[in-house]
Amino acid sequence: MSISEAWKLLADTDHLNRSVGLPSVQFSPLNGPKGEFVRDAHTRLWGFVPLRWKEYPFWWVRERCYRVRREFEGGPIAVLEGGLELQPADAGVRVLVYADSTPANFTGKFLWRVGARVVTDTLEFCDHYLARKQAGEVDPVPVEATPEVDRQLLEDALAGLLRKPVSKDLAHLLQKRILEGSDDQVLRVRAFTVADAWQAERMDTLRLFLYAAETGLFRLAWQLMCPNCRVPKAQASSLATLPPRFHCDTCGIMYDTQLDQRVELRFSINPAVRRAQDAIYCIGGPLRTPHVMAQQFLRQGEAATLELPPLEGAFRARAVGGSGSLVLKPAPPARKSGEVSLIYAAGKWAGPLSLMNDRQDELSVPAGSALVLRNQTAGALLMVVEDVRWTDEALTAPQALALPEFRELFPGERPDISRAS
């Protein structure tokens, strides 16, 4: 497979972890404005061994690598660091998966097998994907699920769906996903993302989900998206019940509920048809925020080097929970390719004056240069390099309301103008 294909497969760490049999995890929220980026996490290994740890933010560069550090509280393991690297290899990609553990006691010296199992399971996940792809599966991403489905309700709903003006081939793919897919593949689904996975026309797939919601197979799920980190922060079953404001704990900002990119239409399976557990298996993986090209966690006074892929269009450097951002624009290669120093201090970014614009809010990055990030604040810093463009996989509320078919199927879906603007 290509590097891009491997990244989409393996950087979705929530789906990866659940598919290789790891347990779901309970995470504490972040408090970005206070520089508190480490989450408390706990789970039970094999269903009965309690585990608690501090989870640091993922570090990654898109389509190249990612890693995460976990520091355990009690138990046989003190520290576990794991991640992967993707390297070009002939017509495909070489996938390096690793897990490094530091034992806390004598017993911990023998638990390296737990990390080794995650490594081998991840590589088997890749093999499973390739086997499904070779077998002609439309969506070859592996799933390990035995969902509880009311087959009679499913058959009745599908019979009603097939009487609608939808593609029968897509309806059968949707049936297969309901019967075989994992819970994350039937909850808060983006229709356009599914269309791309199925290599189908986006509007045909959207029409399928709209009629699936109209016939009771799925339900509308209006997601309130933080305009900064672009992660769902709240959900409503109808536009009329949208809250007037919502809060992002990561960014520390209260937002007005505006019907632009902040309100997005997704689809969730009707629980009467299939029971789906809304559990989290990994909360910080790269594809949770796919617009972020790179993320780096820096302790006070720490520096790190980021070798970014070539910039295509405008990106911005931003401190999560902090103030100020810096637009990064591609520039021709410098005579001496090397490093560009980027410092964050007192809520501002600073770079080489020769590469900054007059307003000091834009930095030209010569092709082939690496960014050297320096944290000169009094605390920890979580820095991201993100695409300023919004994803085209989202269906916003204005886009949905503009569709004649949506208005016909859901005439009662109108925002309460006293609650949202």
What pLDDT does residue 416 have?
A: 67
Residue 398 forms part of a structural domain: yes
Q: For the domain that residue 49 is a member of, what is the CATH number? A: 3.30.530.20
> In the chain, pLDDT over 90 holds for what percent of residues?
69
pLDDT for residue 337: 67
Check pLDDT > 80 for residue 418: no
Specify whether 271 is located in the same domain as 397: yes
Determine the straight-line distance between the first and last CA of the chain, rounded to whole angstroms: 45
**Same domain, residue pair 170 and 271:** yes
User: Of 154, 3, 208, 20, which Cα lies nearest the Cα of 90?
Assistant: 3
Same domain, 162 and 118: no
Beta strands in 46-161 (DSSP E): 49-55, 59-61, 65-72, 77-89, 92-103, 148-149
Are 265 and 372 contained in the same domain?
Answer: no
- Please list the residues that pair with 206 across neighbouring strands: none
Residues 162 and 40 in one domain: no
Chain segment 356-392, per-residue pLDDT in tens: 999 889 999 998 899 999 999 999 999 999 998 888 9
The sign of the torsion formed by the CA atoms of 14, 15, 21, 23 equals positive
| pLDDT at res. 19 | 92
Domain identity same for 165 and 305: no
**Cβ atoms of 108 and 76 closer than 8 Å:** yes
CA distance 177 to 407: 27
Q: Is 166 part of any domain? A: yes
How much is the average pLDDT of 61-86?
Answer: 93
Give the dihedral sign, CA 19/37/5/179: positive
- Tell me if 139 is assigned to some domain: no
Does any domain span residue 304?
Answer: yes
Asked if residue 289 has pLDDT above 80, the reply is yes
pLDDT tens digits, 249-284: 888 788 888 887 789 999 999 999 999 999 999 999
Q: Are residues 176 and 122 in the same domain?
A: no
Residue 179, pLDDT above cutoff 90: yes
Residue 186 has pLDDT above 90, yes or no: yes
Residue 370: the pLDDT is 92
Taking residues 232-243, report their average pLDDT: 90
Return the SS3 of 68. Answer: strand
Domain count, the chain: 3
The DSSP call for residue 90 is: T
Tell whether 103 and 153 lie within a shared domain: no
Most confident of 108-122, 278-292, 305-319: 278-292
Q: Residue 353: exposed, middle, or buried by beta-carbon count in 10 A (0-12, 13-18, 19+)?
A: exposed
Q: How far is CA 352 from the centre of its chain?
A: 32
Please report whether residue 415 resides in a domain: no
Least confident of 46-50, 99-103, 304-308: 46-50
Contacts of residue 118, defined as CB under 8 A and 6 or more positions apart, other chains included, come to: 20, 22, 82, 97, 99
Task: Give the mean pLDDT of 320-346.
Answer: 87
399-420 mean pLDDT: 83
Q: Identify the CA nearest to 41 among candidates 231, 235, 232, 284.
A: 284
Q: 66 by DSSP, 3-state: which?
A: strand
Q: Which structural domain range is residue 61 located in?
A: 3-134
Same domain, 161 and 129: no
* Mean pLDDT confidence for 210-222: 97
Cα four-point dihedral sign 16, 17, 21, 24 = negative
Question: Does residue 416 fall inside a structural domain?
Answer: no
Task: For residue 352, name the pLDDT band (cuts at 50, 70, 90).
Answer: very high
**pLDDT on residue 387:** 92
- 322 and 345, same domain (yes or no): yes
Are residue 400 and residue 268 in the same domain, yes or no? yes
pLDDT at position 24 over 50: yes
Q: What is the pLDDT of residue 421?
A: 47
DSSP string, 271-325: TTTEE-----S-SS-GGGSTTEEEEEEE-TT-EEEE-PPPP-S-EEEEETTSS-E
The answer to whether residue 418 is domain-embedded is no
- In whole angstroms, what separates CA 321 from the centre of its chain? 18
Of 135-149, 198-212, 269-283, 289-303, give the lowest mean pLDDT range: 135-149
Query: Are 177 and 46 in the same domain?
Result: no
What percent of the chain clears pLDDT 70, i.e. is strictly above it? Answer: 98
Classify residue 419: in a domain, yes or no: no
Domain final residue pick, 103, 134, 165: 134
pLDDT, tens only, 133-178: 999 999 999 987 788 999 999 999 999 999 999 999 999 999 999 9
Is the model's pLDDT at 223 over the cut of 90?
A: yes
The SS3 of residue 55 is strand
Q: To the nearest 10°, the Cα dihedral for 307, 309, 310, 316?
A: -80
Residue 414: is its pLDDT beyond 90?
A: no
Is 417 a residue whose pLDDT tops 70?
no
| Among 95, 100, 60, 118, CA closest to 284 | 60
pLDDT at 107: 75
pTM: 0.91
Question: What is the mean predicted confidence (pLDDT) over 390-397?
Answer: 91
Higher pLDDT, 391 or 421: 391
* Residue appearing with tokens 């900064």: 228
Average pLDDT of the segment spanning 237-253: 87
